[in-house]
Structure 1
Amino acid sequence: MSDRIIDAHIHLDRYAPDDRSLILNNMNDNGVDALVSVSGDLDSAQKNLQMSRDDSRVKPAIGFHPEQELPTDEDVADLLALMDRHRYDMVAVGEIGLPYYLEQEGRIASREAYMEVLEAFIQKAVELDKPIALHAVFDDAPMVCDLLETYSTSKAHFHWFKGDWRTTERMYRNGYLVSVTPDILYKTKTRNLAATYPLEKLMVETDGPWPFEGTFKGKMTHPAMIHQSVQEVAALKQMSVGEVYDELYNNTCHFYELNTG
């Protein structure tokens, strides 16, 4: 297993059909055992569930991505009902969180309304005993930590995390996991996070189809890029590459309760 990987956070439903087929068809050749495919809304969740039925290596999460127009009460109710129906098919509640970028652009009317939606999904995750895949960056992370603490859950995965060190230390104390993207090859903040966050609480992701720069500029985001991320984590932590592969893989399997056999 020393060179096998799991993409801990990808939007597989958002790829063009041909690109999605390419990823799925060459997963084994690229050493990729599973994809945790998060959802952005109800339609996205239904697509992820269908992809999982077609290919068991796709591990679906159900959620509502916060960087979009606030969902209606009916939207939220439909997603919560879908979670109830598919509690044994989904591996997590996600992607959920707060709309940091929309707020920076002045495009949200009520932060409190987004907080209420997030709280409803966290409550459901606790009820179903499911881990949570989170979009909570910069100043939003402490507020999300407050909610997680209110519901006494440590089953939280902060993907693409960007935040201050005080929050980072709080997250580790609470047992939360973080994941790093291929921007570890060129982003100082990501490199610092990977170097300092304990390996037993780290995972790796692509957040595909989000594009990357550096050596990946102009390329379709592919889970195989994670191999370079793993090698960079090992270099930053001054550990053997094989040990880091194994730890990251096991962390993801344990957190998301994945069966990759």
Structure 2
Amino acid sequence: MPIIDTHCHLDNIQYQDDVDTVIQTALNEGIEAILIPGADPKDLPRAKMLAEKYPEVYFAAGVHPYDCENYDLDILKTYITHPKCIAVGECGLDYFRLPEDEIEKAENIALQKKIFIDQINFAKDVKKPLIVHIRDASDDSKTILMQHNAKEVGGVLHCFNASEHLLPLSEHNFYFSVGGVITFKNAKKLVDILPKIPLNKLIVETDGPYLTPHPFRGTRNEPKYTNNVVTKISEILSMSKSEVSKLTTENAKKLFKEFDIKN
């Protein structure tokens, strides 16, 4: 059963020299589709180019919380109407690297919240699901998603700190994406929470070029390694790899309805 990598930054400079080989290798390894999240508007032209070149590649338009200073809704609007732009994000909140100065910290958090809310409203306007990044900000993220009725479009929590506190969002049209971290020796928290994620809300990703799964840590992550993620999930949940592949692929297609792969 083919697998969908729902989050891989193929527009990253680390793939600049061999992205065609990376994509073809993934297809040969059973990866059916790859979604490039939007992190910084400057990378959107390359994401769009790759999506136009490969039927199996899609992209999203959004701004990562680390790139808030580059947020420009007008730019996002020019990409969101593209037929292969299937989501808004990755957006969200990340309090992991906040400034030490208390005033600067408060300003940064306020800016992140403002831009996150703006992208939620944008997603509702264009009727596209959200790709949400959450790091050390579970309470604020959950509150914002619920207060601003994000369930209207739903989406995926791509990075969620393995926080059990966020599991109720599964009842608000949100999916949970698991990547290479699940294979790490220190991933006990994620291993423990995995069985608590509703099976109909589970999808997989690589987050390449980052967070390469074991035993390839220290090398560049690629979509082909989604296979390793699926294998580890199958071990933890006592399911076959084909069952996990089928389940997560069907879930991805329910969330991202534009996926229309021609096999």
* TM value normalised by structure 2: 0.88
Distance, in Å, in 2 between the alignment partners of 1:110 and 1:216 is: 35
Q: In structure 1, what is the equivalent of residue 60 of structure 2? A: 61
Contact in 2 for aligned 1:95/1:135 (Cα 8 Å): yes
Question: Any residues of structure 2 matched to 1:2-21 within 5 Å, and which?
Answer: 2=1, 4-14=2-12, 15-21=14-20
Deviations 1:74-116 (A, max 9, x none): x423334324543x33110011112322216667533112211
Question: Any residues of structure 2 matched to 1:83-232 within 5 Å, and which?
Answer: 83-86=79-82, 88-103=83-98, 108=105, 109-138=107-136, 140-154=137-151, 155-165=154-164, 167-186=165-184, 187-212=187-212, 214-232=214-232
Contact in 1 for aligned 2:162/2:193 (Cα 8 Å): no
- Measured after TM superposition, the shift of residue 213 of structure 1 is 6.1
Q: In structure 2, what is the equivalent of residue 78 of structure 1? A: 74
Contact in 2 for aligned 1:211/1:219 (Cα 8 Å): no
Distance, in Å, in 2 between the alignment partners of 1:104 and 1:227 is: 38
Distance, in Å, in 1 between the alignment partners of 2:68 and 2:90 is: 15
Q: Cα 1:228–1:110, aligned 2, differ >3 Å: closer, same or farther?
A: closer
- Measured after TM superposition, the shift of residue 50 of structure 1 is 1.4
Paired residue type of 2:98: E
Contact in 2 for aligned 1:80/1:124 (Cα 8 Å): no
Instruction: Provide the alpha-carbon RMSD of the alignment.
Output: 2.0
Distance, in Å, in 1 between the alignment partners of 2:176 and 2:19 is: 25
- Measured after TM superposition, the shift of residue 28 of structure 1 is 2.2
Distance, in Å, in 1 between the alignment partners of 2:144 and 2:166 is: 16
Question: Any residues of structure 2 matched to 1:46-57 within 5 Å, and which?
Answer: 46-57=45-56
Distance, in Å, in 2 between the alignment partners of 1:111 and 1:213 is: 31
Deviations 1:166-223 (A, max 9, x none): x233222323111111121121122223222121101111101114364112322111
- Measured after TM superposition, the shift of residue 18 of structure 1 is 2.5
Contact in 2 for aligned 1:7/1:36 (Cα 8 Å): yes
- Measured after TM superposition, the shift of residue 156 of structure 1 is 2.0
Structure 1: unaligned runs, 5 residues or longer: none
Q: Which stretch of the first structure deviates more once superposed, 119-128 or 43-52?
A: 43-52
Displacement over 4 Å in runs of 4+: 104-108
Structure 2: unaligned runs, 5 residues or longer: none
- Measured after TM superposition, the shift of residue 29 of structure 1 is 1.2
Aligned residue pairs: how many?
Answer: 253
Q: Cα 1:104–1:136, aligned 2, differ >3 Å: closer, same or farther?
A: farther
* TM value normalised by structure 1: 0.89
Distance, in Å, in 2 between the alignment partners of 1:163 and 1:180 is: 9
Distance, in Å, in 2 between the alignment partners of 1:84 and 1:256 is: 14
Contact in 1 for aligned 2:181/2:211 (Cα 8 Å): no
Q: In structure 2, what is the equivalent of residue 259 of structure 1? A: 260
